[in-house]
Amino acid sequence: IQGRHKTFSFLCWLTVIWVCLSLAELRCPGLDWLEFGEFCYKPFGDRKTWQDAQRVCRDLGAELVSIMSMKEQSWVESYFYMATNNLWTGLNDLLVPGMFTWSDDFEVTFTYWAPGEPNNHNGFSEDCVEMLYETGRWNDKSCSELNNYICKKPKAHYPALFHSLGAFLLIFYQIWGHYINVIRMTEVVL
């Protein structure tokens, strides 16, 4: 029994370490999210207004995509290379006209405007920014237009299948350990 108890202790600690290490890995919440750098992206093929698209993203704990570099811009473009509709970004000047900010509050350090943009075309208030599917360049547009969209959020500690398996094994070993202790107490009584 003593040898089995040592084996149980070793296996129990091994499982605890395994579960803890796997929880430390940052990942995306599911297979329908794409990974790039430190972020997760979820594309949507349906078309919504900017506000409705933003609401969908926020319901998922995300924001409309912010693009921080040419590298990220190229990645988003490459993913949407077969798109036939423009794509909402989180860039907008809803708070202060002419001062574009990202909806996720990241600083605007990179832009990729189409020539002549932003322009409030024909004097209309174009407060939201779309990525043009033909060129990847950005265009200010009325927020009430319908576009595809992509949500973005930082990677986080999301449970995965092996976390559940690890938790199951941990519980199993705890029950097994209790069983071993009951046997040991029975031997002492006998």
pLDDT in tens, 54-74: 999 999 999 999 999 999 999
Topology classification of domain 34-154: Mannose-Binding Protein A; Chain A (3.10.100)
Under the phi-then-psi rule, with left for phi > 0, alpha for psi from -120 to 50, and beta for the rest, what region is 89? beta
107-131 pLDDT tens trace: 999 999 999 999 987 767 899 999 9
* For range 68-97, the mean pLDDT: 93
Average pLDDT, the chain: 82
pLDDT value, residue 186:
47
- 31 burial type by CB count under 10 A (0-12 exposed, 13-18 middle, 19+ buried): exposed
Return d(Cα 183, Cα 23) in angstroms, integer. Answer: 34
Tokens of 93: 């000047």
Other Cβ atoms closer than 10 A to 166:
21
Q: What is the mean pLDDT of residues 97-112?
A: 97
pLDDT at 14: 56
What is the average per-residue pLDDT within 6-16?
Answer: 56
Cis peptide bond N-terminal to 159, omega within 30: no
Domain range annotation of the chain: 2-25+159-189, 34-154
- Please state the pTM of the whole predicted model: 0.72
What span, in angstroms and rounded, lies between the C-alpha atoms of 62 and 134?
26
CA distances from 10 to 15, 18, 123 (A): 9, 12, 72
The mean per-residue pLDDT over the stretch 64-90 comes to: 93
* Tokens representing residue 163 in the block: 């976390």
Provide the pLDDT for residue 185.
47
3-state secondary structure of 44: strand
CA distance 32 to 41: 9
Taking only Cα atoms into account, the Rg of the chain, rounded to an integer number of angstroms, comes to 26
